[in-house]
Chain A
Amino acid sequence: MSTLANCVDIVAMSDEALPVPLLPELADFWQSELMESLRLTVEAWSACVARVTQWEQEHLVDAPTPDDLKAHRKAVDRMILFGRLVSLSTSHKDFPDRRLAGMVRATLQAYEDKLLLWHDNTRTEAEREALIREVFSES
């Protein structure tokens, strides 16, 4: 059984059958379908950066509870995992949408920064403050 036949069977089995073209347009059709689906998913994932930041403002800036920190860590870890999985595709040299690839790269960095800003406890607050004063020549 060919892969192409499997592919068409899957379409025929879906609830809403898509009008799948034959060769030579077949690959373009699936690329277009995949890219649109991926774009919508990535944009929703990226939009959550600002929503999580709002949640941080409401729950973490004033004496956060251990449960709030745990929930935040778990959510951010999962968003990072999603971003790393997607970036395996979007960072490929042949990925066709450079704008989307840039959105994935920047959004993933924003989520990774959240871990540093809220969950890295290798330094004390005093040590952080001392380092910032040194780097920015604050007296």
Chain B
Amino acid sequence: MSPELEALLEAMYNHQTAEPHEQERYGTVLERMIEEALLRRPGLSRRQLVDALRPRYVAMLRARRKPPTLPSRA
């Protein structure tokens, strides 16, 4: 995976898991990275880019899923 894509997915994850007082800061970082990505392909919209991130973002969520906190039954 390219470092730019990895950083963008990380920024999206950070924004989607941010506490209220971190929302603006992480949102600003995400928007900057999205703007940089959009420059790579003229004509591409923010909406199209975020939609296209879905498979990679879902894979990231799956990989970062926390293990169950309840102990398994004996």
Contact = CB atoms under 8 A, between A and B. Distances in A.
Given A106-B26, A132-B5, A137-B2, A57 B65 contact: yes
A120 B46 CA distance: 13
Interface core residue of B1, B23, B26, B47 (most chain A CB under 10 Å) = B23
Contact of B40 (A61, A127, A136): A136
Majority SS at the chain B contact face? helix
A72 interface: no
A70 interface: no
Interface in A30-72: 42-43, 46-47, 49-50, 53-54, 56-58, 60-62
Contact of A107 (B23, B37, B41): B23
B20 A116 contact: no
B9 to A, nearest CB: 10
B52 A105 contact: no
B20 A103 contact: yes
Interface residues of A, number: 41
Q: How large is the interface on B (under 10, 10 to 19, 20 to 34, 35 or more residues)?
A: 35 or more
A42 B20 CA distance: 8
A62 to B, nearest CB: 7
Given A110-B23, A138-B2, A61 B15 contact: no
A125 B55 contact: yes
B16 A110 contact: yes
Interface of B: 1-2, 4-5, 12, 15-21, 23-24, 26-28, 31, 37, 40-41, 44, 47-58, 61-62, 64-66
Given A61-B65, A106-B18, A113-B50, 17 more contacts: A43-B20, A46-B20, A62-B62, A103-B21, A110-B27, A113-B16, A114-B16, A116-B47, A116-B50, A118-B54, A128-B55, A131-B44, A131-B48, A131-B52, A134-B41, A135-B41, A138-B1
